[in-house]
Structure 1
Amino acid sequence: MSTVPAPAAPTANPSAVTSAPQMADAQNAAQSGNGDLAPVSWDSEIQLVSSLAKLQELERKIHELRAILPQGLLEPLVPISNPDKATADNTISSSPHHLLSDLNQTARARIADIEQFQSMWRGPELKPVWAHVESRISESNGQLLQSSGMWEKDYDELREELLKEEKEKEEQRLREEEDIERVKAQSTEGQWQAVLDGFIQRDIPGVRVIKGHDQMEIAVALTRAGIFFLIHGSSEPDETEPDETAMPDWQISSKVAPGKSRTKLEDAILGCLGSRPRKWDLAFLLVR
């Protein structure tokens, strides 16, 4: 594990960054002195871990930049002095003119690396991080925040884990909300009829809605595109769904004239509609 660079090394423990009550006042003062800093919630664990991951990435690039002098600039000379180290990307120059061109190209590439690093260091994403680190160092009377001088965790991996956990929690929350809505829809008699009547009353230009003979069948014609869809509510609920939230799914198919086949546009629309969530929700299909 590599050492932390000298500029304002952050703490290895995210929870320690938010432990001091006066931290918020110091951070607000730092932000008020620099109006271009966006407000940042340092009580958020994902914000702390993301900031530490950015600092680790900066350190990694610092070690890469240290190799520029002299190795990085002299790469074109390596296969000349040691032919065994020649590669497809770094071959032996065929002439002094080509060697000079290779050296110039290598120098420009290394300068671009330095400029990219400077842009990242001074970029808007890191400005609030530097302000927060400076306020914490000020609170500790100039003492560095990471006593070991080493990174004790891979914060990029930790950030990915936290993002995955947040995504799973959000998906669970959405599933629970959908279950509640399904139960409510199931207990409301004639709700889908009201949704259909409301959709017909909108009288959308180029869209014609026809009720079928089956009470749970609807025909929707996109007159300008010449496309005709059938929407049919399945009589049996999906067996994979829990009984308490079971609702008929609304299936979509297209109707084409005899002797004709579906167009690519129709196939694309059917594919999109078929992959939609909330197949039980007619309002989600028609209105949204």
Structure 2
Amino acid sequence: MTTILPMATNKSTPGPSDASHLNSELQLVSSLAKLQELEKKIHELRQFMPDGLLEPLVPIANPDKATLNNQVAETPQILRASLDETARARVSDVQRFQSLWRDPELKSVWESVESRIKESNGQMIQPSGKWDRDYDVLLKDLADKENSKTEERQREEEEAERAQVLSVEGGWQKVLGQFVQRGVPGVRVAEEQDGNSLAVALIRAGAVFLVRGVVPEPGAPISEWEVSSKTGNRVLTKLEIAMLDCLGSRSRKWDLAFLLDMISSYGDIKSTPCVKCNRRTDDGAQLPTLRHLRQNQQFTEGEARTYTFDALHSSCA
């Protein structure tokens, strides 16, 4: 396989930010994987003329080469439509190639190569003519390792936060008191008689949830919070089932503040639009019952956290 050397795109010298952009091993492998993909696409583009564009004519000239996906056109109109469709598909392939070539991640690669060409007065070490590694495979391995490190770090941070919350004087009752003091419109919370459960009513949504603290052993603190619907013998509606499914799949099941804010986000569900399609109901007339924690929320150290959630249709997730 021939290794492609990029053409110089401009006469500027890459700055410090471009050099540092290529210092990360993950970034280097990602760039190499994209270069490998570019080369593969270049070989594909070489087949566009005449083979690619004239593919619908092949079974006409040689019926033995007809396939299920490329049969002899029965009429001139069908042949014309097939040629038009093939041309559009090839143009789309060229556009995807151009998009990959102009990828911002590769900009620093082109500039780095150009800088080395200038430094060597146009003399570059010639490649061997083949790739030594499949960089898309190597990139996946590195990305998986990076994700594992990130997940481990998040678990450690969450465990430390959990320990800190459990050690706060007043425990979950303090969290409950802070939530009640905020006076969230349309939300009512009351403690149950067992001392480890809460009833959370969403007035506008017409739903009441039972939040029960799980105690792993007598005398131990609550380890997590379970949510069910407090409906008595009434059959649950599809809306209630969808909300319970989302609440049950949440992260931070030990965090009562997180759960109360998540339940509260359903308070205006009948009038809240989906953040993705900006519609109240989707094509199936379903409300946005999914809740995703809004990213990049800022919390002040020492103060009670308030979580914000985005509403999504299941079809938009």
TM interval, shorter chain, is: 0.7 to 0.9
Aligned residue identity for 1:276: R
Cα distance in 2 for residues equivalent to 1:117 and 1:137: 25
Q: Which residue of 2 aligns with 1:133?
A: 113
Q: CA deviation at 1:125?
A: 4.4
Aligned residue identity for 2:162: R
Q: Which residue of 1 aligns with 2:15?
A: 28
Q: Which residue of 2 aligns with 1:7?
A: 6
The aligned length equals 257
Aligned residue identity for 1:252: V
Matching residue within 68, 74, 92 for 2:48: 68
Q: Rate the CA distance shift 1:229–1:139 in 2: closer, same or farther, 3 A.
A: same
Aligned residue identity for 2:153: R
Question: RMSD value over aligned CA atoms?
Answer: 2.8
Please tell me whether the aligned partners of residues 188 and 201 of structure 2 are also in contact (alpha carbons under 8 angstroms).
yes
Q: Which residue of 2 aligns with 1:249?
A: 224
Encode CA deviations 1:34-71: one digit per residue, 9 max, x unaligned. Answer: xxxxx962221111111111111110110001112222
Q: Which shifted more, 142-151 or 221-230?
A: 142-151
| TM-score, scaled to structure 1 | 0.78
Q: Which residue of 1 aligns with 2:289?
A: none
Matching residue within 231, 252, 261 for 1:278: 252
Encode CA deviations 1:234-254: one digit per residue, 9 max, x unaligned. Answer: 2226xxxxxxx9852111111
Cα distance in 1 for residues equivalent to 2:76 and 2:97: 32
Q: Rate the CA distance shift 1:43–1:247 in 2: closer, same or farther, 3 A.
A: farther
Matching residue within 269, 275, 280 for 2:243: 269
Q: Which residue of 1 aligns with 2:194?
A: 214
Cα distance in 2 for residues equivalent to 1:132 and 1:215: 65
Q: CA deviation at 1:180?
A: 1.7
Q: CA deviation at 1:86?
A: 0.3
Q: Which shifted more, 42-51 or 54-63?
A: 42-51
Cα distance in 1 for residues equivalent to 2:7 and 2:183: 63
Cα distance in 1 for residues equivalent to 2:181 and 2:238: 30
Please tell me whether the aligned partners of residues 209 and 221 of structure 1 are also in contact (alpha carbons under 8 angstroms).
yes
Encode CA deviations 1:148-196: one digit per residue, 9 max, x unaligned. Answer: 2321111111111111111100111111112222332333342211110
Structure with a larger share of its residues in helix? 1
Aligned residue identity for 1:44: S
Please tell me whether the aligned partners of residues 40 and 128 of structure 1 are also in contact (alpha carbons under 8 angstroms).
no
| TM-score, scaled to structure 2 | 0.72
Please tell me whether the aligned partners of residues 61 and 117 of structure 1 are also in contact (alpha carbons under 8 angstroms).
yes
Q: CA deviation at 1:94?
A: 2.6
Q: CA deviation at 1:80?
A: 2.4
Unpaired segments of 5 or more residues in structure 2?
262-306, 308-317
Cα distance in 2 for residues equivalent to 1:29 and 1:142: 22
Q: Rate the CA distance shift 1:107–1:220 in 2: closer, same or farther, 3 A.
A: closer
Q: CA deviation at 1:108?
A: 4.3
Cα distance in 2 for residues equivalent to 1:128 and 1:199: 49
Cα distance in 1 for residues equivalent to 2:113 and 2:21: 14
Please tell me whether the aligned partners of residues 30 and 131 of structure 1 are also in contact (alpha carbons under 8 angstroms).
no
Q: Considering only CA atoms, is the larger Rg found in Structure 1 or Structure 2?
A: 1
Q: Which residue of 1 aligns with 2:213?
A: 233
Q: Which shifted more, 180-189 or 202-211?
A: 180-189
